[in-house]
Amino acid sequence: MQKECLLETRNITKKFPGVLANDKICIEIKKGEIHTLLGENGAGKSTLMNILYGLYQPQEGQIFFDGREVKIESPHKALELGIGMIHQHFMLIPNLTVLENVILGLPSAKPPLLELDKVRSDVKAIFDKYKFEVDLDAKVRDISVGAQQRVEIVKALYRKVQLLILDEPTAVLTPQESTELFKILRSLKEDGNSIIFISHKIEEVMEISDRITILRDGKVVKTVMKTETTREDLARLMVGRPIAMKLEKPEAKPGEVLLELIDVNMIDAKGKQLLSDISLQVRAGEIVGVAGVDGNGQDELAFALSGLRKISSGSIKIKGQEIKEKNPKEIINMGLSHIPADRIKHGMVKEFTIAENLIVHKHNQKPISNWGVLNLRNIAYYAKKLISGYDIRTPGPSVLAANLSGGNQQKVVLAKEFDRTPEILVVVQPTRGLDIGAREYVHEELLRQRRRGVAILLISTDLEEVRALSDRLAVMYKGTIVGIVDPADTKVEKIGLMMAGIAS
Amino acid sequence: MGINESLVITWAMMSVRMTTPILFAALGGLLTSRTGVFNLALEGMMLSGAFFGYYGALTSGSPWMGLLVALLIGILLGLLFAYFSVTLNVNQVITSIGINTVALGLTSYFSRVLLTDSDVIVAPTFKDIVIPGLSDLPIIGPIVFSHSILVYLSILILIIVNWFLFKTTNGLNLRAIGEDATACKTVGINVALYRYLAIIACGALASIGGAYITTVAVNRFLENIVEGRGWIAFAAIIFGRNMPLGVFGACLLFGAATALQMLLQVQGFKIPYRFALMIPYVVTMLTIALIAKKEQIGKVDA
């Protein structure tokens, strides 16, 4: 049946410095449908939703709501129109009660007094209608995450929204809570509300959606009906970016095992299993890739290897030596280098100059410094050598790292790490947010390290990247390795299914 | 017994009077702190209020005029602080240091330039309002019911602030902003407007607190006459855990310490007066040290 259109975007374009986050996005949300936006991190889903909720302004494009063209210049305006959004990080005030959070920002029935009695029964009615059990007078900080999400939903419903946007709502929920959430969303739909559901998890998308729009690199790839698609199709559409270049990748000549994980487990303070029974070997001269959807334990794995987080049980060995009890500096000195996913936060000091960033590991060694006094001439010489060696595009070594483009920042991180001639590299998301040229450069650099005989563990959510570079590919799902495949003769679809936890 | 008893009553009465200027400033600071803005310029705002309140009263011959001038100056300083810290997003500490430094310099400068030629430097002050009947009550009478109008005004404002914060929608919004401003923006609250109004109210209140010193307690202006009461007020906000009644209690404590110090001097106790002078500040430091571990001063976000 043909349902009426509630919201339509035409050619929405949003640029951030250096990134085209949304490129001429056209989507249509019908009344009473659950419409999923599916895409990888950085595909532009959240940017688009923040535009619809008035937090960002697009540079180009139009938005139509209920047939009229609208300008959404603030969340206030969005709420007035009837658009509500539940952010990934809840927008609740922990020290206020549930009831106070629901009515926050709304005018009172008898201003200026805070009128809670009438409101209480209205809010209670909504909670009852959807069979939520929440104590209205409990402080939000004392209720569970699932309950907090329900408070967010009631907050939106109390404001009479017709369109509810949920940004990766299941990311923080247990499977049982997710099931509950889906029930709620379905009954909201039956009441005629429209829902935009943002996700990168194919399994749940197939469970909850009516229609699915796939976003990739800021563009709409396709909009499909749930009934007319398959998990495999979605996986292909979501991750299948065209290969930008063919890498010259000579046959690997794996040597001895340099890095070994045996039954590694990591449990957080709340008892949640972050890594379970991970066993993996990386040999000299090979790249072992780790694929998986973001948030399935990759970051924890990298932090465990670099000594930033302790493992609960199991063993990690570098060249046969246990590193479980060692601190990051000792691990670095054993020959391991870590290229972190967040290069700005963990990989560099952005308020420092390029030269200062390049010498962080050797600032206390000759000839960079002598008796604790920095030798500025030698530092400049050394920095210039690396700048030309790694093709860092900058006017000079005294430029602040913050002022470089993402690609050049990454080159600084690589130069700093590779110049120490590490034997083992743990590389996480090395090309996230980089343009094609910089990406190619990083890939070639990794292959060069491989030729040098370095054992490389490449962790990336960019499936194309790990497939192209890895000699062996481990797929992670929910903190465990689902399987290890040969990327050269395994189909993308198969890997996609493994990432979704469907196949092994 | 008789002498000791009257001494205690005098001490209690003076405590109330010493509490008032701190309470005005602390209630103002409480409002900004509840919006997530830390106003460390209370001292400078009080000092400005002290000078302009005095000068207004001196030139017009009426303490009411002095109070009005102080109020306007306070609003102006509040606007200035808000413009820097909210609109321009300048670090609040730097803005505060700026205002404190300018206030100290300008009031000292003005007091020299404007007051040299004048023979009359004693300004008219607010007289105590002795409430008939009630003030005759034993003990309670002199302690509670024989003060200047500003003392009663400070208590009235305490009640209003408490009511506003916890019984009105705007108060709820204001409290929420201090907890998580981003979350408030997403429900359509005009965070900047709330912060502006809170800071302006704070400027006005701190300035009146300063004017109290020169239009009630003393009838003239001396350089740096506020003597750190603005900082004590800030300490009272933290010690009072951002709750109006808690802040009132903290102000009473600091006020009592100040009164004790004065009493010790007047009574001629055999301790060097410099030690007596230290009492209120030592009490402030000790209380802050005691709670510093348990309390967070609070987080500020955009």
The model's pLDDT over A195-224, given as tens digits with 9 standing for 90+, comes to 999 987 777 899 999 999 999 888 999 999
Q: Which residue on chain A is closest to B178 by alpha carbon?
A: A93
- Whole-structure pTM value: 0.72
* The two three-digit tokens of residue A362, written as one number: 């050797």
- Across the A/B interface, how many CB contacts are shorter than 8 Å? 69
Residue type, A221: V
Polymer length of chain B:
302
The three-state secondary structure class of B59 is helix
pLDDT at A107: 87
Residues in A closer than 8 angstroms to B185, CB to CB, are 75
A452-470 b/e with 16+ CB inside 10 Å = b? ebbbbbbbbbbbebbbbbb
Which of A75, A94, A107 comes nearest B179 by C-beta?
Answer: A94
Contacts of A141 in chain B (CB under 8 A): none
| 8 A C-beta contact, residue A178 and residue A166 | no
CA distance A38 to chain B (A): 24
Among A105, A112, A115, beta carbon nearest to B188: A105
Which of A55, A85, A114 is facing B167, going by the closest CB pair? Answer: A114
pLDDT in tens, A284-299: 999 999 998 777 898 8
Share of chain A above pLDDT 90, in %: 50
Cβ-based contacts of B161 with chain A (< 8 Å):
none
Domains and CATH numbers, chain B: 3-301 (1.10.3470)
State the Cα–Cα distance between residues A58 and A49, nearest whole angstrom: 11
Is the ipTM, as predicted for this complex, more than 0.90?
no
Q: Which residues of B touch A (CB under 8 A)?
A: 166-173, 175-176, 179-180, 182-189
Q: Would you call A13 exposed, middle or buried from its count of C-beta atoms within 10 A (0-12, 13-18, 19+)?
A: middle
A362 φ/ψ angles, rounded to the nearest 5 degrees: -125, 25
Contact A378, A368 (CB under 8 A): yes
Token duo for residue B257 = 């310490």
Give chain A positions within 8 Å (CB) of B187.
Answer: 75, 79, 91, 104-106, 155
> Nearest CA of chain A to the CA of B294: how many Å?
17
Determine the average pLDDT of the residues in A106-135. Answer: 86
Report the pLDDT value the prediction gives residue B294, as an integer from 0 to 100. Answer: 57
Closest listed residue to residue B225, CA positions, set B212, B213, B207, B233:
B213
A165 backbone dihedrals φ, ψ, rounded to 5°: -105, 125
Residue of A nearest to B169 (CA): A114
Q: What is the pLDDT of residues B134-178, one digit of tens each?
A: 878 888 888 888 889 999 999 999 999 999 999 999 999 999 999
Minimum distance, in Å, between the CA of residue B89 and any CA atom of chain A: 19
Q: Which of B169, B175, B188 sits opposite A112 (nearest CB)?
A: B169
What average pLDDT does the segment A145-162 reach?
90
- Nearest residue to A241 via CA among A492, A471, A26: A492
Mean pLDDT of A177-201: 89
More confident residue, A9 or A171: A9
Closest approach of chain B CAs to the CA of A137, in angstroms? Answer: 15
Measure CB to CB from residue A93 to each of B169, B171, B176 and give the nearest one: B176
Average pLDDT of span A400-409: 82
What is the spatial order of strands in the sheet that A5-16 belongs to? A19-30, A5-16, A60-65, A68-70
Sheet strands (E) in A376-471: 424-428, 455-459
Is B186 a residue whose pLDDT tops 50? yes
Q: What is the CA radius of gyration of chain A?
A: 25
Query: Quick one: pLDDT band at residue A30, thresholds 50, 70, 90?
Result: very high
Q: Which residue of B34, B164, B166, B169 to mutate against A (max A Cβ within 10 Å)?
A: B169
